[in-house]
Structure 1
Amino acid sequence: MTQWKQIQQLENRLLEHVDYLYDDNFPMDIRQGLSSWIESQDWEIAANDESMAAVLFTNLLSQLDRVRLQEQNFLQRHNMKIIQQQLQVKYATNPAVMARVISTCLREERRILSSACMQEQGPLEKSLQNSVAFERQKNMDNRVGLIRASVQLMDQAVKYIEDIQDDFDFRYKTLQSRDPRPNSETMKQEVTRLQEMLNRLDFKRKEILSKMDVVIKDIDDLMTSQLNPELQDWKRRQQIAAIGGPLLTGLDQLQSWFTLTAQSLFQIKRQLDKLVELVVKVTYESDPIPLQRPQMEERIKYLIYHLIKSSFVVEKQPCMPTHPQKPLIIKTGVQFTTKVRLLVKLPEVDYQLKVKTTFDKDLPPGRVSRQFFILTNNTKVMDIEDYSNGCLSVEFRHLQLKEKKYINGTKGNEGLLSVTEELHYLSFEACFTVQGLTIDLETCSLPLVVISNVSQLPGGWASVMWYNLLTDEPRNLAFFGNPPRATWSQLSEVLSWQFSTFAGQGLNREQLTMLGEKLLGMFCILCYSILFKENIPGKPFGFWMWLDSILELIKKHLLPVWNENFIMGFVSKEMERCLLKDRRPGTFLLRFSESHLGGITFTWVEHNDNGEVKFNSVEPYTKNRLSALPFADIIRDYKVISDGVVPENPLKFLYPDIPKDEAFGRLYNSQPSKGESAKPFLHLELMSYSHASTTPLSCQSPEPPMTPGEFNMLNEHLCFDIDTVSLHSLYILINMYYRFMSCC
């Protein structure tokens, strides 16, 4: 099933996230019409390869032409023509941008599918979690709404006080302008009425101040007990999403809560200012406004200050466009992007809000051995996003780091931590001014790793994963001085996320169990240095290097097979034999090599006439071998050479008992190596061979090198008519070819 078909089967809640991915940059009509073709192209590589991007762009337009001409609906043909023209205008001069857009959409689709699976949770647990999250959001919506309603009612109360006061002021001044006759009955009645009005005015002033006090306390409690925890929860989820976890959502909802709360606070501030104006006109002994207003105003300013400061967040953590799935790793000399956002949206805010970014600002001396500076422009102005909900944000798209030069080449504290364990950060500063308040804003990125060579990328990603998995501290740069240990339940989840992010499908429960048994069998404790720095006992490589090479192999050469769940993966050799021994002859399974980096092998079972069970394994296929031929085709065309016997394919059933062609048939990319004509030709270069042996094939010694004479003979007969050559000669040629390929 294609990825797009899986997407269409999602529930409406997740489909809304999918809908958000597609816009004029990449219309959903194209995704729908060209779904299979789009998923078969490598957009991620094209995003960083101009020539490949140009080819894919041209092919995309050709595919659109084909679909448009086949479309029967006139309106649909018209719409597709418009879309085609828009794409040509937008991407003709820069097709790599289109490739980047499509790559991002496909990757986010996989993330959404992964979050829909949540294999570690049962339906009841997921249902309870969703229910709790919904109730929490509903409670927050209600509380913010009640505060806004209370503040709006206080506006009416202030207006009522103003009306009473205007009436009192008019009557008082009118009484003063009359001929004073203190003892007249009319005068006494008027004074009594004024006194009653003053008493009522005093009551209403005390009442409004009391209501304000209650609302201010309610806002304070809201910020402390709910709003700030919700923000911290989002930041924690951002950490998890950065290392491949569930899709990050909720920022727009947070902005709504922050904005409504800020509007309430500013409205109360204006109401207090209005009360001050009223005091200037009319005041009296024990007037509550001059007594209570200063303290209330300070509390309002304090709450506004903290609300605005906490609303300044990093929406997108620093990331190189060349490695979008591995944020928080920056290579010197390579551009990276990041984005900050203000969660408070006020119409009266001065939108000329300049944001300055600094690298390792105020970092304590001796904390790092290397120092860097931002080579490109590090100041930009925040602006309103027209295409979103109108948030105030700024995206730095072209930042670049350069390492500082040292006198005499000395770096001071070099050697305290490795390059990939040394943590740095980006800070962002701005000055926010509104309604007479000036607030200095500052926020910072999550700790990031700076590398100088792509070979350091796996180690850097290991550090990013370990940090964000095990701590929610925003800036613990000394973390790797004594990194904490992880439990298997924690580590297994993040490892499964890696397969979901990079290979499109996470590890199932059985694969995680096998990997856990393998890992816990190698190590007693799961600590950072053992998993990511030290070699596996008896091997020249470490656990993470081994697993990362498998991820790379799947991503580049095994995706179709992996996503069909045909690779058992992490089964040990012992378990492999237990699984195969009772199966029909020719039953085979696929697993990752334990002895080679980035290798996959298969083992099949045979039964001798005397009932003895025999297991046969092949040398692992690595990226070099898989670059020439798809793995499904290798399974189809695999042959075993036996003396005097025509080569045959011993692979019959994929474990447990699926006929090979039934399992892999739809994944075959080329025609079988043996044609179907009357006089077929055997194309040796399309076939994989092993020599039959009484020992497992993985244990065989290599054939001797081919002589020049043998090579010339083989070169003359690489393609021959089977009917004109003897079986013995055929075997000799195949044997020579196999030896030739082994030498290569």
Structure 2
Amino acid sequence: MSQWESLLKLTGQFQDNLMGLYSEELLPVEVRQYLAAWIESQDWKLAARDQSLASVHFQNLLEHLDMQYSYFSMEQNILQTYNFRRFKHDMQSRYQEKPKNLAEQIRDILQQEKQILVESQEMEIQNGQVVQEPVETGKQYEIDQRVRKVKERIQSVDQEVKFLEEQQEMFDFRYQMFQRELQSGKLQDNYIKLKTQEVQVQLNELDRKRKDVLSQIRELLGLCETLHGFLLEELNDWLRRQKLACIGADANTCLKNLEGWMTKTAEVFFHLRRLLHLLSELSKQLTYENDPLKTEPQTLQYRLNEMLHSLLQISFVVDRQPIMLYPCRRALVLKTSTQFSVRARLLVNLNELKHNVKVSYKIDKNPPNIKGFRKFNLLGPVEKSLEDVQREGLLVDYKHLTLKEQKAGGGGKGGKGATDGALCVMEELHNITFTTNFDYEGVKLTLEAVTLPFVVISNLSQFTGAWSQTGTVSCSRGRKDLTFFSNPPAAPWSLLANALSWQFSCCTERGLNPDQLQMLEKKLCGSVSKEENAVTWVKFSKENMPRASFTFWVWFDAIVMLVTGHMKNIWKDGHVMGFVSRGIEDSLLKTMQQGTFLLRFSESMRDGGITCSWVDHQQDGSYSIRSVQPYTKRELSHIPLTEIIRNYQLLAEENIPENPLKYLYPNIPKDEAFGKYYEQRSELTLEYQKYLKRRLIIVSERNIDDSQSSIASGTPQHFAETPQYDPGTPMHDSDPFQNSLDMDLNNLIDGFKIEDLLMDHTSDPMFSGPQVESSELLHDSFNAYQ
């Protein structure tokens, strides 16, 4: 897809910005539309500096306008025929004498187009949308054109060198014949003078041809240097995308195009290297005073070798970062004694290199000077050959590597023997270096590819913390050293927000929207401002949140796992609002019709919880926002959230149980939103039946306070008068279902009617709603308990 085609898909303000670039005075948009492919294939940056190239581009533009004019005439498109005739006349009048001005205008317009594309993609990322990489961007098209151009030019130079070689052979033959004639002594002076002049003319022609060939090679090297710069930029973009993909971004990490460009460019470099060597040999066969082939090929060869070595160095990459095969398939977090895989790839895919290039590895080749830094043995096949895998490239794949810690005398890292000042296990970073000796056509070079920094854990309980570490490193700009956590920089919120959204996107196939990210920003940064907020490493992963006994990352990661394991379907459908503060919840629900509810995540539960809040309007015009006790993975593993919402009941004043949850915010009927996920009654298991028959619903009224979003303990603070019940007895312990059944049994024995029991959870912002028991099913609950 060309750059122009991508731009035409923009909407809103971005489309307006695009149209603002074009005017009749600069470049008409119709010319940009119909000549898009040709315009994007030309080097306008160079033309803006080179008067002769600008003139060539200008004449070519006029020819293309003539061709388009002829096409419209044949189609009898009178309007466009008139427009293009006028366009050509205007172009000639404006730029005939100043073609560089036109080149500058088009150069600037193309650059501004790219900037608009970048801004639109950044906006889509901020909105939590998946940005699909275009099949072929304008830059990719430009690289394609440049690769094609250098391939054509090297063929042309090759023909010129062959012609020069033939010309030199012919000159040498004639010169040797003339020398033999001179040695015979039979030639007249006039003939000798004439032949000498002929030889000098031929030598001058040979000298001119040599200089012309060298000039063409210098021009070709200039094109190669520009192409090399483009390839380096494209590789850096790929490395950035790979880095983001490791933390969940839906980024395009395909290397097919880059491998093709690098391979073709390397072929040009090696071809040109052979031609320069041939030119040096020609100078040894025949030389003369001021021979340009005596010294210049060596200079050009040095310049070419620098580019070739650089291209080969950057072409050796780790195309798949270290990742465990099980149980947690997230890149850059490895566990000792657990197998993991990693893969390196040579993007210069020459047939002669297959099976002839050996690759070895070493962990922590240059370990940092950090006190207590652990050392590991990397177990697996040390040396393997690069293999040409069909459709994947020239690669070496290590599928079953294992890390084993080298035990030190003072105790293991992270244990009691850890010394003061040393980094903890999850702040300690490691890497693997792959090395290969490249040897092809006289080019001998040691190539290295290094993995991104990864964390090594010894217990799966450390996984959540380790994943936050790798995510922080990946969010940072340019920091790849192993001492990152000795002095970690603050992460810009814009990058961190994208990473958090990607976590949801890669696990649940739906990212976070701006409102959800705004709530998280306020939670981490304390406010949402126009200025760039930054989050410190301590704030993100080490320091407990206010009024909580856990960190932000522990809480956030637990919610990701809760959604992934128990409500992925309704999250993908957009039915879970999730991250929403008390104040926002109140403002959203208070104007809604009776029974409107929303689903949001609990802020008070370390292992993740989800609660349901709804609006309850009173006859006097007042309202209250009520919530159920948050459900955790323990409850949701027994009953799906959709079944809880479906069967939730509240005891009305007439002792008639009813479901207060009627409309999912803003006004979607409950059954319409969740109906496709309801269980068939015939499919309910006995385990479901036991829980569904229980109708103990906790009642709580929340003190409405829009200015706070506190983290509460979740402990009940008030009960209705219940002579037979001791308020000190915990109702909410490790298993709320079992506790409620225990209370059912005790109250039955004491002759107490359970429907009179009320509870008020004012201390927890997540709890705020009436929850009562339907005594109609109490005997069934008792029987199930028995």
Instruction: Give the TM-score range, shorter chain.
Output: 0.7 to 0.9
For 1:318, the equivalent position in structure 2 comes to 322
Aligned-partner SS, 2:466: helix
For 2:678, the equivalent position in structure 1 comes to 668
Q: Distance in 2 between matches of 1:502 and 1:176?
A: 84
Q: Distance in 2 between matches of 1:459 and 1:480?
A: 13
For 1:424, the equivalent position in structure 2 comes to 430
Change (3 A) 1:368 1:361: farther
For 2:362, the equivalent position in structure 1 comes to 358
**What is the TM-score when the length of structure 2 is the normalising length?**
0.70
- Could you list the per-position Cα deviations for residues 38-70 of structure 1 after superposition, in whole angstroms to 9, with x for gaps in the alignment? xxxxxxxxxxxxxxxxxxxxxxxxxxxxxxxxx
Q: Distance in 2 between matches of 1:705 and 1:588?
A: 25
Q: CA deviation at 1:521?
A: 3.2
- Could you list the per-position Cα deviations for residues 669-689 of structure 1 after superposition, in whole angstroms to 9, with x for gaps in the alignment? 3328999xxxxxx94433563
For 1:374, the equivalent position in structure 2 comes to 378
The question of 1:730 aligning with 2:736 is answered: no
The question of 1:259 aligning with 2:266 is answered: no
For 1:398, the equivalent position in structure 2 comes to 400
Aligned-partner SS, 1:690: coil
Q: Give 1:624-639 correspondences, 5 Å limit.
A: 624-639=634-649
Aligned-partner SS, 1:400: strand
Q: Distance in 2 between matches of 1:173 and 1:736?
A: 119
The question of 1:650 aligning with 2:660 is answered: yes
Matching residue's letter, 1:667: Y
Q: Distance in 2 between matches of 1:647 and 1:122?
A: 40
Matching residue's letter, 1:429: T
Q: Distance in 1 between matches of 2:587 and 2:128?
A: 30
Matching residue's letter, 1:615: I
For 1:278, the equivalent position in structure 2 comes to 282
Change (3 A) 1:731 1:294: closer
Q: Distance in 1 between matches of 2:657 and 2:180?
A: 123
Which one of 173, 177, 184 corresponds to residue 174 of structure 1?
A: 177
For 1:569, the equivalent position in structure 2 comes to 578
- Could you list the per-position Cα deviations for residues 268-310 of structure 1 after superposition, in whole angstroms to 9, with x for gaps in the alignment? 1111222233234322333221222222222222221121111
- Could you list the per-position Cα deviations for residues 92-124 of structure 1 after superposition, in whole angstroms to 9, with x for gaps in the alignment? xxxxxxxxxxxxxxxxxxxxxxx999353699x
Q: CA deviation at 1:329?
A: 0.9
For 2:332, the equivalent position in structure 1 comes to 328
Question: For the Cα contact (< 8 Å) 1:120–1:509, is it kept in 2?
Answer: yes
Q: Distance in 1 between matches of 2:198 and 2:566?
A: 92
Q: CA deviation at 1:212?
A: 1.7
Aligned-partner SS, 2:526: helix
Q: CA deviation at 1:400?
A: 0.9
- Identical counterparts, % of pairs: 37
Q: CA deviation at 1:481?
A: 1.4
Change (3 A) 1:262 1:414: farther
Q: Distance in 2 between matches of 1:692 and 1:540?
A: 25
- Could you list the per-position Cα deviations for residues 324-346 of structure 1 after superposition, in whole angstroms to 9, with x for gaps in the alignment? 75211111111111111111122
Which one of 463, 470, 478 corresponds to residue 472 of structure 1?
A: 478
Q: CA deviation at 1:595?
A: 1.2
Q: Distance in 2 between matches of 1:185 and 1:525?
A: 90
For 1:152, the equivalent position in structure 2 comes to 155
Q: Distance in 1 between matches of 2:575 and 2:715?
A: 21
Q: Distance in 2 between matches of 1:508 and 1:218?
A: 45
Aligned residue pair count? 604
Which one of 568, 572, 595 corresponds to residue 559 of structure 1?
A: 568
Question: For the Cα contact (< 8 Å) 1:639–1:687, is it kept in 2?
Answer: no
- Could you list the per-position Cα deviations for residues 185-217 of structure 1 after superposition, in whole angstroms to 9, with x for gaps in the alignment? 545444333332222112211221232223224
For 2:344, the equivalent position in structure 1 comes to 340
For 1:724, the equivalent position in structure 2 comes to none
Q: Distance in 2 between matches of 1:276 and 1:361?
A: 41
Q: CA deviation at 1:734?
A: 5.7
The question of 1:243 aligning with 2:253 is answered: no
The worse-fitting range, judged by mean Cα deviation, of 205-214 and 422-431 is: 205-214
Aligned-partner SS, 1:733: helix
Which one of 191, 194, 197 corresponds to residue 192 of structure 1?
A: 197
For 2:592, the equivalent position in structure 1 comes to 583
Question: For the Cα contact (< 8 Å) 1:619–1:698, is it kept in 2?
Answer: no
Q: Distance in 2 between matches of 1:708 and 1:550?
A: 30
Question: For the Cα contact (< 8 Å) 1:320–1:329, is it kept in 2?
Answer: yes
Matching residue's letter, 2:560: L
Q: Distance in 2 between matches of 1:533 and 1:312?
A: 37
Name stretches of at least 5 consecutive residues in structure 1 with no aligned partner: 1-9, 14-114, 676-681, 715-726
Which one of 477, 497, 500 corresponds to residue 502 of structure 2?
A: 497
The worse-fitting range, judged by mean Cα deviation, of 240-249 and 404-413 is: 404-413
Change (3 A) 1:265 1:694: closer
Q: CA deviation at 1:482?
A: 1.6
Question: For the Cα contact (< 8 Å) 1:433–1:439, is it kept in 2?
Answer: yes
For 2:542, the equivalent position in structure 1 comes to 533
Q: Distance in 2 between matches of 1:519 and 1:575?
A: 17
For 2:409, the equivalent position in structure 1 comes to 407
For 2:610, the equivalent position in structure 1 comes to 600
- Could you list the per-position Cα deviations for residues 472-526 of structure 1 after superposition, in whole angstroms to 9, with x for gaps in the alignment? 23x3222111211133322222111111111110012222223333333389962
Question: For the Cα contact (< 8 Å) 1:375–1:399, is it kept in 2?
Answer: yes
The worse-fitting range, judged by mean Cα deviation, of 285-294 and 331-340 is: 285-294
Question: For the Cα contact (< 8 Å) 2:277–2:297, is it kept in 1?
Answer: no
For 1:440, the equivalent position in structure 2 comes to 446
**What is the TM-score when the length of structure 1 is the normalising length?**
0.74
Q: Distance in 2 between matches of 1:531 and 1:255?
A: 38
Q: Give 1:91-170 correspondences, 5 Å limit.
A: 118=124, 120=126, 134-170=137-173
The worse-fitting range, judged by mean Cα deviation, of 428-437 and 238-247 is: 238-247
The question of 1:461 aligning with 2:467 is answered: yes
Q: CA deviation at 1:404?
A: 0.4
Q: Distance in 2 between matches of 1:490 and 1:379?
A: 38
Question: For the Cα contact (< 8 Å) 1:383–1:393, is it kept in 2?
Answer: yes
For 2:520, the equivalent position in structure 1 comes to 515
Q: CA deviation at 1:657?
A: 1.9
- Could you list the per-position Cα deviations for residues 235-293 of structure 1 after superposition, in whole angstroms to 9, with x for gaps in the alignment? 11211121112322452222222222212221111112222332343223332212222
Q: CA deviation at 1:574?
A: 3.5
The question of 1:659 aligning with 2:669 is answered: yes
For 2:626, the equivalent position in structure 1 comes to 616
For 2:458, the equivalent position in structure 1 comes to 452
Question: For the Cα contact (< 8 Å) 1:634–1:687, is it kept in 2?
Answer: no
Q: Distance in 1 between matches of 2:232 and 2:387?
A: 25
For 1:39, the equivalent position in structure 2 comes to none
Q: CA deviation at 1:605?
A: 2.6
Matching residue's letter, 1:403: E
Aligned-partner SS, 1:290: coil
- Could you list the per-position Cα deviations for residues 580-604 of structure 1 after superposition, in whole angstroms to 9, with x for gaps in the alignment? 2333322221111111131011122
CA RMSD of aligned residues (A): 3.6
Matching residue's letter, 2:495: Q
Change (3 A) 1:126 1:317: closer
Q: Distance in 2 between matches of 1:141 and 1:643?
A: 75
Name stretches of at least 5 consecutive residues in structure 2 with no aligned partner: 1-5, 10-120, 703-713, 720-726, 732-738, 750-772
Question: For the Cα contact (< 8 Å) 1:637–1:672, is it kept in 2?
Answer: no
Q: Distance in 1 between matches of 2:148 and 2:583?
A: 63
Change (3 A) 1:609 1:684: farther
Aligned-partner SS, 1:288: coil
Question: For the Cα contact (< 8 Å) 1:314–1:341, is it kept in 2?
Answer: yes
Aligned-partner SS, 2:631: coil
